[in-house]
Amino acid sequence: MIAVCSGFAAQAQIPQPDPDTTARHFLIVASIKNLQEVSAGEQALKMARRAEVKTFGQMMVKDHTAAEKQLLQLAKTRGITLPAAATGGIKPDPLLANAPDFDSAYVHAMSSGHQNTVQVFQNYATTGKDPAVKAWAQQMLPNLNMHLEHVKKIEKQIQ
Amino acid sequence: MISDCPKPVSKALKSLQKKTNMKDQDKITRRQVIAGLGTTLAAVAVSPVLGSANLNTNTVDGTVKIIDPTTLYVKPPFKSQPQPWPGLQSKMDPVPDCGETSYKGSGRLMGRKALITGGDSGLGRAAAIAYAREGADVAINYYPSEEQDAREVIALIKKEGRKAIAIPGDLRSEEFCKQLVQKAISGLGGLDIIVNNAGRQQSINSITDLTTEEFDATMKTNIYAPFWIIREALPHLPAGAAIIGTTSEQAYDPSPDLYAYAQTKAATMNYVKSLAKQLGPKGIRVNGVAPGPVWTALQISGGAQPEKQQMFGSWTMLGRPGQPAELASIYVQLAAADASFATGQVYGASGGVGQP
């Protein structure tokens, strides 16, 4: 199953609470997070030095690509149009590309980003109004939490 | 600047992210500084702003248009558009609105002489345009790689019939800061407004990933440069002069990834209050502007995490980031002679979130 995942922003970087809990807004944020996760995962495949970081990056690419596919399908069936800026054109993050220690910067970004993502999904899973989107958010949460635990473990190891 | 989000500040000078880069850019800086500031600026086409959305409040019959702030500007999501530091606003999508087509002056700063750091883009650019339209002569400082944005500003100031002085250089150098003040004074024939606006902001998730070089570049640009500039300029400032610092909502509620930047904004808020007490008896007013999330090159050149960039400002009560043009009138107000009782104040504009 696929996990969806998260983004890079550290918790509280995207200030909470988000006043907008409409399905469209949630899907826009989730889609951007997916694409960024894939993009960063690709950077990790190229630049990570530690095997476990590379493996985690690979899992991100695979899971988020699959999650994005589901998300787009869901949006289609619900008749929700997503803006182009939310579904394509993600560029590699220069902060990661230029980081003095890629592994460390990537793992910190993934850790804070997944915390934020879990919050965003929990928020919609609890307060969302569209039942299908809400169900999807609930379905994604176990895998998101698994990603978070996994990256936290790596974070501890490399400290 | 920004609040936690980001803040916005102007982007102006910042330093480089990597050491290698740093060396290269330092070379450029030195060379360009030595070569002479303010190269001739041919007339430059100014990039169009945001189509119909702007702050132009004039109507045919002379009344003022009422504008809904929630629909005034583009809302997120924005395209992914990372740029290397310091970034050019002319390459942003949408291009930030700094009041190029909308700001109308009414002589509030006629004959005043202003120096604005980071005046090529963002808040500094909005202030520079507004000051010129209010009748001031303006010197702008910027990082040499921002020449393209700066040329547009110089052309806009000249179009108002005001003196425009371009002084590119690296604010992390004490020697340059001293030269900057002297060149501004000789170019403008005096100085009575200083806007310490240039800022460096880099989002870094963990303090363990923050290099000493990066921390130092942030401190030099955001804290030392205003100190060097004010100290050099003070003997030349007349009673009635105004000093303005760009602080941020970050001064009061820092983001976890802006450890270095946020503390410099707290320092700015603090020096505003300290210097206001020190200089009040001389008749020099010192104030600050605290932006919330404002759409500037600071944010897309490393100042915010990628996702925050794309959803930038969505968390405000207006559902969008501010545009620099929306803060221009604050810089004008704090500089104007009729703000004569305002000193040691921090004025904010952050869309219903953040402090002050």
A16: closest chain B residue by CA: B315
Let me know: does B179 contact B29? Beta carbons within 8 Å: no
The secondary element (H helix, E strand) that includes residue A120 is helix A102-127
**pLDDT tens per residue, range A130-159:** 999 999 999 999 999 999 999 999 999 987
Cα distance from B315 to chain A (closest Cα, Å)? 6
Instruction: Tell me what pLDDT residue B341 has.
Output: 98
Provide DSSP, A36-48. HHHHHHHHHHHH-
Cα distance from A92 to chain B (closest Cα, Å)? 8
Residue B59 lies in a domain: no
- What confidence tier does A10 reach under pLDDT thresholds 50, 70, 90? very low
Residue A3, pLDDT > 60, answer no
Please judge whether A18 and B302 are an interchain contact, meaning their C-beta atoms are less than 8 angstroms apart. Answer: no
- What confidence tier does B323 reach under pLDDT thresholds 50, 70, 90? very high
Q: How many domains does chain A have?
A: 1
Residue B75 lies in a domain: yes
By Cβ distance, the residue of A85, A99, A113 closest to B209 is A99
Those residues of chain A whose CB sits closer than 8 Å to some CB in chain B are: 7-16, 18-20, 25, 28-29, 32-33, 36, 83-86, 89-95, 98-101, 104-105, 108-109, 111-113, 159
How far, in Å, are B38, B111, B120, B154, B348 from residue B161 at the CA level? 17, 11, 18, 11, 31
Residue A122 lies in a domain: yes
Write down the ipTM of this complex. 0.84
- CATH number of B297's domain: 3.40.50.720
State yes or no: cis peptide before B48, omega within 30 of 0.
no
Residue B12 lies in a domain: no
**Any residues with CB less than 8 A from the CB of B133 and at least 6 apart, and which?**
B103, B104, B105, B160
Measured from the Cβ of residue A98, the count of other Cβ atoms closer than 10 Å reads 18
- What confidence tier does A125 reach under pLDDT thresholds 50, 70, 90? very high
Let me know: does B324 contact B153? Beta carbons within 8 Å: no
Q: What percent of chain B has pLDDT over 90?
A: 79
**Any residues with CB less than 8 A from the CB of A51 and at least 6 apart, and which?**
none
Whole-prediction pTM value? 0.86
By Cβ distance, the residue of B4, B77, B81 closest to A83 is B77
- What confidence tier does B134 reach under pLDDT thresholds 50, 70, 90? very high
**pLDDT tens per residue, range A56-101:** 999 999 999 999 999 999 999 999 999 999 999 999 998 899 999 9
Instruction: Tell me what pLDDT residue B61 has.
Output: 81
Lowest mean pLDDT among B1-5, B99-103, B216-220, B288-292: B1-5
B84: closest chain A residue by CA: A94
Dihedral sign computed on CA atoms, order A108, A111, A112, A117: positive
User: Average model confidence (pLDDT) for chain B?
Assistant: 87
* Rounded to 5°, angle at Cα B47 from B124 and B67: 70
Please judge whether B315 and A14 are an interchain contact, meaning their C-beta atoms are less than 8 angstroms apart. Answer: yes
User: Average model confidence (pLDDT) for chain A?
Assistant: 88
Residue B300 lies in a domain: yes
Residue B5 lies in a domain: no
Cα distance from A20 to chain B (closest Cα, Å)? 8
Residue A3 lies in a domain: no
More confident residue, B20 or B352: B352
Please judge whether A20 and B202 are an interchain contact, meaning their C-beta atoms are less than 8 angstroms apart. Answer: no
Q: What percent of chain A has pLDDT over 70?
A: 87
Number of A:B CB contacts under 8 A?
A: 120
Residue B42, pLDDT > 60, answer no
Please judge whether B310 and A113 are an interchain contact, meaning their C-beta atoms are less than 8 angstroms apart. Answer: no
Residue type, B109: L
Q: Which residues of A touch B81 (CB under 8 A)?
A: 91
Residue B39, pLDDT > 50, answer no
Instruction: Tell me what pLDDT residue B12 has.
Output: 36
Cα distance from A105 to chain B (closest Cα, Å)? 6
Active site (catalytic) residues of B: 261
By Cβ distance, the residue of B18, B208, B255 closest to A104 is B208
Cα distance from B152 to chain A (closest Cα, Å)? 27
Please judge whether A15 and B315 are an interchain contact, meaning their C-beta atoms are less than 8 angstroms apart. Answer: yes
Residue A13 lies in a domain: no
Name the residue range of residue B198's domain.
19-32+71-349
Residue B259 lies in a domain: yes
Q: What is the mean pLDDT of residues A8-32?
A: 67
Q: Which residues of B touch A92 (CB under 8 A)?
A: 82
A82: closest chain B residue by CA: B77
Instruction: Tell me what pLDDT residue A20 has.
Output: 66
Residue B31, pLDDT > 70, answer no
Name the residue range of residue A154's domain.
23-158
Q: Which residues of A touch B17 (CB under 8 A)?
A: 94-95, 98
How far is residue B5's CA from residue A28's CA, in Å, rounded to a whole number?
Answer: 19
Residue B7 lies in a domain: no
For chain A, state the CA radius of gyration.
Answer: 15
- CATH number of A119's domain: 1.20.1260.10
Q: What strands, in cross-sheet order, belong to the sheet with B137-142?
A: B164-168, B137-142, B113-117, B193-196, B242-246, B285-291, B346-349
Q: What percent of chain A has pLDDT over 90?
A: 78
By Cβ distance, the residue of B78, B202, B308 closest to A14 is B308
B101 phi/psi in degrees, rounded to 5: -105, -5
Q: How many domains does chain B have?
A: 1
